[in-house]
Structure 1
Amino acid sequence: MLRTVGRLINKCIRVGVDSGYRYGGDEFGVILIDSDLSVAEEIGKRIREALKENGGLNVSLGCAMYSEGMSAEDLIAAADKRLYAMKSQSRLDRAP
């Protein structure tokens, strides 16, 4: 299943520009080069739709934008924070 997820993510990003990779466990990361928030949202939407259509998976995504002087760790931490906020919101939306 993880291979399928990786393959689908890589089909949704811009070939030769962006990079998709497995970050750990069942988490994946995507680095978008020269992108703004609208591009990130569109690619995120494509990834969610592809995973739902091809694997029946519902996923939560966290997005962070690089700012001058940010370390890789800071960027990952910002994306993680947004990811877990999305997961929490998703659980609340499904609560009875």
Structure 2
Amino acid sequence: MDSESNPLDEAASQVVELGNRIANADREADLWEIADGLLAGVVHYWLHSRQPCGDPHCEDCASLSTADDRMKELKRLIERYAQESDYYHSPHDTNVGRA
């Protein structure tokens, strides 16, 4: 990792690289299935990392102390990262204007 990298960027980069390696290893593979599998693993890891500590008075865990709270935060992050992606909009989106 270079001095400009951070764990978030490094993890995101490695997930993309893993998807590309899987796709390149099997040219017949369905890219959507690969992407869904990567997403399933990422969601699983994220939920595991956000488990509350067990102390009902823990201030650090308060905002993620229920499954609903964790899902709200996960959805918020998904929306943020999707909108920051270069691939959020596609020239083939059905709501793109045509001249």
Category of TM-score, reference length = shorter chain: 0.3 to 0.5
Larger strand percent: 1
Higher relative contact order, chain-length normalized (CA < 8 Å, sep 6+): 1
Larger helix percent: 2
TM-score, reference length from structure 2: 0.33
